[in-house]
Amino acid sequence: MPVRKRIVFYLLVFLLSTAFLPVAAAPAEPSALVKIASPAPAVSRLGGVVVQELHSCLLVCAPLPVLPRLRAAGVDFAVLAYPREGVHFFLLRSPLVLPLLSQGADIECRLLEDRIWLLWTADPGFRRYLAQPFRLKALALSGPLAPAAGEIPPAPAPEYEEYRSRPRAARALAKLTAQVSQERLRSDILTLQNFKTRYASTAQCEAAGDFILQRFRQIGLDAESDPFSFESYYQSKNIVAVIPGEIAPERMVLACAHYDSTSNNPLVSAPGADDNASGTAAILELARILAKEKFDFSIGLLCVSAEEWGLYGSAHYARQARRDGAEIIAVVNLDMIAYPGDRQRVLDVIGNRKSEWLADRFIAAAQPLVGLRLAKVIDPSLTWSDHSSFWDQGYAALCGIEDSDNPYYHRSSDTLATLDLPFAVEAVQASLAAVADLARPLNTPAAPTGLQARSQISMSLFSSLKTVYLNWQANREQGIGYHVYRADQSHGPALRLTAQPLAQTSFKDSFLSPAQEYFYVLTAVDEQGRESSYSQEVRDDENN
């Protein structure tokens, strides 16, 4: 073999062998997981990676050589664990003083804050040793995780104040929220409950995902399933649909909910009516109502799985979104929105510090339209649902959740019969108003009115041409232009005739065939290029 070919051959072998090397879950170099009292702004600069921001502390993964630097910088920290291959780390929320059923299990726990534990184990079946109810969040110690503090999320639309002040926008939101149907919510919750269990990795959970996918498609949305694997052995899928934006489709408002469930006997019975068929049904209802409308920005509708296992579905989606550079303006996560309990009817709107503007905006858009009280809660320790995965990637996200302790939580008794559907309707209305408001609906000018058409035929000896004269009433808004569209048949496909919006309220369409009838519609266009819906159609000689 010639030398050059031999070199190429060995190079290929080397490249292939590196491609098949297992991807390490743990940090490549020896590291320590440490707890640092927040705020600790120097951590990232000194080489540590913030894994999780909590109310009173930060969890930081730091290579061992970084620890002396932290100490030298005066950062007060405590080493919690030394991550190694095959060991998984979780945040565990348990109301119990001792969350473990058995002391003999191969599980280690350290209390971080009130009711919040750090748990690590190499046992994939560790959940059987945990006492219900508990909530888990899997921690990623390596990979492209953004700092928990995150980047500053994309600013809200600069013209927000002006937009919100328009009575038309408020009327539009009211019109949308009035469409929320309690019967549809009830029906969807029941359907999801009837899968018996939606515990991620079970066939029933996959069937529930198929049901959601089918519902999105029935509504007419472009929807797809996004499979992912978790904890090495298991697979599930997220279901995502998009309502494309009209003006800036690359910017997205994301509404999400997890559709998987769990219980004290998850493989057999986990109806999860409140947790979280209620949130999933809300997403389906949002899809049904919003799909008929037009928005400046895209609206993503995401139903994730494996939330109960540790937020795996949302973490998969959020990581991928960050990697792809997705411009997610805001995430509204709905998790348990149908059990108000005996207390005052309150829906908590949970955000971290970076998402506080989003919580404010949610409440500003929704509170005037609903009777339930929307309570802002800013606490980065509330990581127990899918919004937390988006926080980890630097996105602004919040969670809408009932402010009550549901006694049926994570139990086989979490069924439709225990729910308060009128409360759920209001929670969905609030979410719908907030999502629609964030995506900027109907921020387009009103369709022009008063369109009139007159036509005449100019004739020479052998040929003739039709000319159509259009005129209409000027819109009341300032800075409005107009586009003119023509179709060869009534309500047929229309061709836009104007390259740029017209400033005047008349238009002449020349050189037309006298033998053909033409039909015209108009749109109004504002200075940002937002276009109204069509005006009333007129035939070319309608006003002759």
Partner 1 sequence: MKTIDMMSPKAPAFFAAVLLLLPFFSSPALAGMEKVPQPRFFIGAAAGYFYPRQDAFRKIYGKPLWPVELQLGWNPSRKMSVFGAVRYLETSGSTVLLAAQRPEEKYALRWRQATLRLGMNFWPLPSRFAPFLGAGVSYSFYREQWLDAPLASEGRQAGFFVQTGGRYRLGRRFHALVQIEYSAISAGGGSGLSRSVNLGGLNLSLGLTAGIF
Among positions 18, 165, 490, 544, the unique one binding partner 1 when judged by CB under 8 A: 544
Q: Does 413 bind partner 1 (CB under 8 A)?
A: no
Both tokens assigned to 180:
């929320």
Among positions 17, 165, 232, 463, the unique one binding partner 1 when judged by CB under 8 A: 463
> Please, which residue, 458 or 473, has the CB nearer to partner 1?
458
Among positions 113, 356, 541, 542, the unique one binding partner 1 when judged by CB under 8 A: 541
Site string for partner 1, 49-78 (x = CB under 8 A): ------------------------------
Tell me the closest approach of the beta carbon of residue 516 to partner 1, in angstroms.
Answer: 14
Tell me the closest approach of the beta carbon of residue 481 to partner 1, in angstroms.
Answer: 24
Tell me the closest approach of the beta carbon of residue 467 to partner 1, in angstroms.
Answer: 6
Residue indicated by tokens 């036509």: 455
Q: Kindly tell me the burial class for residue 1, based on how many C-beta atoms sit within 10 Å of its own C-beta (0-12, 13-18, 19 or more).
A: exposed
Q: Does 454 bind partner 1 (CB under 8 A)?
A: yes
Is residue 257 within 8 A of residue 397, CB to CB? The reply is no
Among positions 103, 165, 460, 500, the unique one binding partner 1 when judged by CB under 8 A: 460
Burial 412-446 (b: 16+ CB within 10 A, else e): bebbbebbbbebbbbbbbbbbbbbbbbbbbbbbbe
Task: Classify 107 as helix, strand or coil.
Answer: strand
In 131-262 the beta strands, taken as DSSP E runs, fall at: 135-139, 222-230, 234-243, 248-258
> Please, which residue, 490 or 544, has the CB nearer to partner 1?
544
Q: Which stretch in 206-214, 219-227, 326-334, 454-462 sits in contact with partner 1 by CB under 8 A? A: 454-462
> Please, which residue, 179 or 467, has the CB nearer to partner 1?
467
Distance CA 528, CA 531 (A): 9
User: What torsion, rounded to 10 degrees, do the Cα atoms 437, 179, 442, 491 define?
Assistant: 150
Greatest CA separation for the chain: 104
Q: Does 17 bind partner 1 (CB under 8 A)?
A: no
Number of residues that bind partner 1 (CB under 8 A): 19
Is residue 522 within 8 A of residue 485, CB to CB? The reply is yes
Q: Does 516 bind partner 1 (CB under 8 A)?
A: no
Among positions 235, 506, 510, 528, the unique one binding partner 1 when judged by CB under 8 A: 510
Site string for partner 1, 300-329 (x = CB under 8 A): ------------------------------
304-to-190, 259, 419, 495 alpha-carbon distances in Å = 19, 6, 22, 41
Tell me the closest approach of the beta carbon of residue 464 to partner 1, in angstroms.
Answer: 4
Distance CA 16, CA 161 (A): 56
Both tokens assigned to 220:
């007419």
Tell me the closest approach of the beta carbon of residue 455 to partner 1, in angstroms.
Answer: 7
Three-state SS string over 340-369 comes to: CCCCCCEEEEEECHHHHHHHHHHHHHHHHH
Among positions 327, 422, 514, 542, the unique one binding partner 1 when judged by CB under 8 A: 514
Q: Does 381 bind partner 1 (CB under 8 A)?
A: no
> Which positions touch partner 1 (CB under 8 A)?
454-465, 467, 469, 510-511, 514, 541, 544
